[in-house]
Each structure stands twice: as structure tokens, then as C-alpha cells.
Chains A and B, each alone.
Chain A
Amino acid sequence: MPHDHPPHPHDHAHPEGVDPHAPAPDFGDERSRWYEVASDVMRDMLIEQNVFSAREVRKQIELMESKTIQLGGKLIARAWVDPEFRQTLLKDGKAAAASLGIPVTEASLTVVEDTPAVRNVIVCTLCSCYPRSLLGQPPSWYRNKAYRSRVVREPRKVLAEFGSAVPDDVEVHVHDSNADLRFIVLPMRPAGTEKMGEAELAALVTRDSLIGVAPPRAA
């Protein structure tokens, strides 16, 4: 573990070959990998050919990074209070979102429903497919090989590590977002929220609850 306090007598061991006083690694320190270089070169060439401008690239990044959980929260809260909307959402997530004025640019949005008998969890084992136009960028752990390989292999253990162990009488359904479908979980409305309005309910919905690793809670 790097530490920057003054020299001191060591009563703890440092692993062989590791500089204990090396600065902590920072984002961008790693050497660019092949695909990063290729993508930079491609972007520069397309800008040079006037296919798009640097300003448009920046605007697109800004748009992608401006998406937050709020839109997802709005969808879920409406489904909790409006049974008809709930049916539409489960049948065609994209159409349901559009009816609230929320554009989803992915080909489709499939909504899987938690019930007292079923817990759902989403993964993309091949890469990091995620409904970005609705929820923005996925969390870093969603893209890690550890999550991607383990949640299909031992979902109950992974869910327990997220603090949401599933009792054995409840089915765990893992959804691999490996191809054209994109997913969110429709979690169960938490107990103790009977008097809450739609906006208050929407605020309970978290990113992780839409991936399925941690159901929303009232407090």
C-alpha cells in the first residue's frame, strides 16, 4: 500500500519488488492500448474529412455523460403507481419511455419484472451492453471481467456481496445482454412507501436497482 508519511521503522512487511512509497496510479497513466490508438486515429481522420467536427464529438460525449438515473427513476415510479403504464412498460419499454417523453435510442428496451418469487439481474458477458441512452454510462464494475463472468456462474454469491442475498425459495434469473436487447429491471415497490408520491418514489430508484444487484429501499 503506498503511503506518504515520513520515514518510519517498519513493523509491517512490504511485498518483495514493490515500492511502498510509489505514487498512487492516476487515470491516464497507462499506455494507450491498440484500440484506443485506432479510435483516436479514426476520429482525427473523420474530422479531417469533415464527416463530423471536433465540436460534435465533444457534444456527443457531453450528451452521453449527462444521462443519469433520473430518467430510469421516472419510468419505474410511474410503473409503481399506474398499472396500465406498468403493462405497457413490460410489453415495450421503448414505447413506454417515449410516452413520457424519454427518448431511448437503443433498438429496444426490455423490462424484466421482479416479483416475490423472482429476482432478476442484468449482465453483458461479452462486453458492456447497457441502455446508455436512458441511464448513461454503466458503472465500472459492470464492465469488469469479474462481474461479467461471476454473475452468470454464481449469481447468488455476487448478489450477497452486493448486500442483497436472495432466499432459496426465490428464483434468480440472470439476463445476458449479449446481442440486440437492452434491459432494465422493474424492481418491486419497497414496503413502507404507500403514502409516497411519484417524485418521491422516483428518488428511491438507484442505478444498481435497475441492474438488479440491489433492490430499492424506503430509507
Chain B
Amino acid sequence: MTASVAINTGRRFSAGDQVRVLDLPKTGHVRTPWYIREKVGTVTEWTGKVLNPEDLAYGRCGGPAVNGYRVVFDQRHIWPDYQGPAHDKLHIEVYEHWLEKA
């Protein structure tokens, strides 16, 4: 990802980036399941900018909107005892503030 792209779109990540899912101390209506936290995956696409459900659920409807990304993980990385071939994958959508560069 070039700096100019990042500035133009306001997105921190692009397809192909390696990212780690953060384990934020947030409770309530969060959309980041526990099984994916602190796992490292690859961004496959930007899914758009949406109002954050973590805010919407509590009546905070004024934004700001957040970027979402689809991230793909190796199943064997998520579950060290995964019973299946190494090429099996899991795809999930993660909001930008839950991600850091890996």
C-alpha cells in the first residue's frame, strides 16, 4: 500500500495486508468474536464504511463511520488442533479499530 492511497481513501489497510486482530477491552455489542482475537490473517477486501454497531446499539447514532475489512485466516492458525487440511480457511469481517499491521 502506498502512502498516497492511504491518504486518498482514509483506509489503514488494503487487500493483501497481514493484520492482527486486537483483543480490545470492550464489552457489550461487539462484533469481534473471541475466537479470532490476537490471530493473524490477510485482508482480502475493504467492505465499506458503516456506522459502528458498537455505538449504534447504545443509541450513539452520530458516527463516526468505521472502515470494515474481510480478513481470511488459516483454520490451523485459529485452532491449533484443527482436524482438517492446511488449506482450509475462515473469512470474517473486522472493523478497522480492531486491527493492527502484523
Contact = CB atoms under 8 A, between A and B. Distances in A.
B10 interface: no
Interface residues of A, number: 22
A179 B68 contact: yes
B30 to A, nearest CB: 9
A181 B31 contact: no
Interface residues of B, number: 26
B89 A108 contact: no
A107 B49 CA distance: 11
A156 interface: yes
**B47, B68, B90 — which one has the most chain A CB atoms within 10 A of its CB?**
B90
Contact of B85 (A108, A168, A181): A168
A180 B90 contact: no
A178 B48 contact: no
B83 A176 contact: no
Given A152-B35, A157-B83, A173 B50 contact: no
Interface string B66-102: 0010100001001100111101111111110000000
Contacts of A169: 85
B83 A156 contact: yes
A174 B50 contact: no
Interface of A: 107-108, 125-126, 152-157, 168-169, 171-176, 178-181
